[in-house]
């Protein structure tokens, strides 16, 4: 995999690459197993760049973990280029292998897609969803790209909550793991800071529909926060008692980010799946 830049000033190549947010660790890996080219000629990081010269970073090839088993299961791709692969995750599929669900994860389906298309990188999870949450998941095609995508994505979720929620709101409550559970989280003073904002699209005494933005990325954040305001998600039997849906009514609906290489602003959406549309007629 190659990444190409154009030098915008005279400077050492090492300093130029640091300005592109290429870490010392990544640069070390590139020097060992990749290559640095200026105008297609191999150089070292001590090369003095001139304005307008073309810099090519050849990323080292990656090998997937031996524990991964590429899966030919269905994969719905929303967006793909040389650097990213954005897919729609169905509910009931794990983002990555776990002890309870060791294979046929979304990661392994994406790895199979990469192998079929002779990608030199391997999928790295940028955004992760719970097994029973549906919607957009972003994979980077190399560890360096994953590093450049960290904390750069704005995520918007669609959810259905029990009862009538406020028209809009902000939930700023720290979240930590319950001492007697390896899965369940709760609001606790010694938890990690967590911030969620939402705006209602529909409100009734039976259920409400909201667009939700995460400003932090805590485990089960939306589920815990909506439980905290007295409106657990429909179908969420871990944080509530509603059983009108076979899973929590939560869908990663939209992502926004600036592409790390093209610098183009990208907005991607994923329509809610059939089970949510059946539960919520307005969808």
Domain with residue 142: its CATH number is 3.30.2350.10
The whole-angstrom separation of Cα 7 and Cα 82 is: 21
The whole-angstrom separation of Cα 53 and Cα 121 is: 26
- Interval 70-108: pLDDT, tens: 999 999 999 999 999 999 999 999 999 988 888 999 999
Question: Could you tell me how far CA 7 lies from the centroid of its own chain?
Answer: 30
Q: Which range marks the domain in which residue 101 is found?
A: 67-150
Residue 274 belongs to some domain of the structure: no
Catalytic residue among 130, 236, 242, 270: 130
Residue 120's pLDDT is 81
Do 132 and 112 reside in the same domain of the chain? yes
Give mean pLDDT in consecutive 10-residue pieces for the chain, a chain of 283 residues: 91 93 86 90 94 93 90 96 96 91 94 93 94 97 89 91 97 96 94 97 94 95 98 97 95 95 94 91 71
Do 159 and 238 reside in the same domain of the chain? yes
Do 176 and 188 reside in the same domain of the chain? yes
The whole-angstrom separation of Cα 170 and Cα 12 is: 46
Residue 38's pLDDT is 95
Residue 259 belongs to some domain of the structure: no
Residue 276 belongs to some domain of the structure: no
Residue 234's pLDDT is 96
Active site residue 130: yes
Torsion, CA 38, CA 43, CA 49, CA 50, rounded to 10: -50
Q: How many domains does the chain have?
A: 3
Residue 74's pLDDT is 95
Residue 255's pLDDT is 96
Do 116 and 90 reside in the same domain of the chain? yes
Residue 121's pLDDT is 84
The whole-angstrom separation of Cα 135 and Cα 279 is: 16
What are the respective helix, strand and coil percentages of the chain, to the nearest 5?
15, 35, 50
């Amino acid at each position: 995999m190659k990444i190409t830049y154009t030098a915008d000033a005279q400077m050492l190549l090492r300093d130029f690459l640091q300005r592109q947010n290429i870490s010392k660790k990544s640069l070390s890996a590139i020097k060992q197993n990749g290559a640095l080219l200026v105008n297609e000629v191999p150089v070292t990081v001590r090369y003095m760049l001139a304005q307008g010269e073309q810099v090519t970073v050849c990323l080292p090839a990656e090998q997937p973990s031996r524990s991964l088993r590429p899966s030919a299961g269905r994969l719905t791709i929303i967006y793909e280029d040389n650097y990213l692969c954005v897919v729609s995750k169905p509910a009931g599929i794990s983002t990555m292998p776990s002890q309870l669900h060791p294979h046929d994860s979304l990661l392994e389906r994406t790895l199979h897609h990469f192998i079929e298309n002779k990608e030199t990188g391997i999928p790295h999870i940028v955004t992760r969803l719970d097994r029973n949450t549906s919607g957009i998941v972003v994979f980077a095609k190399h560890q360096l790209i994953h590093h450049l995508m960290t904390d750069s994505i704005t995520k918007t979720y669609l959810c259905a909550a029990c009862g009538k929620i406020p028209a809009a709101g902000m939930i700023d409550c720290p979240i930590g793991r319950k001492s007697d559970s390896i899965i369940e989280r709760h609001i606790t003073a010694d938890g990690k800071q967590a911030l969620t904002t939402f705006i209602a699209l529909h409100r009734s005494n039976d259920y409400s529909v909201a667009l939700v933005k995460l400003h932090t990325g805590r485990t089960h954040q939306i589920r815990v926060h909506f439980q905290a305001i007295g409106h657990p998600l429909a179908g969420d039997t871990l944080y509530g008692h509603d059983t009108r849906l076979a899973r929590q009514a939560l869908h990663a609906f939209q992502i926004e980010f600036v592409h790390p290489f093209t610098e183009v602003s990208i907005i991607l959406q994923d329509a809610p799946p059939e089970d949510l549309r059946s539960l919520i007629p307005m969808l």
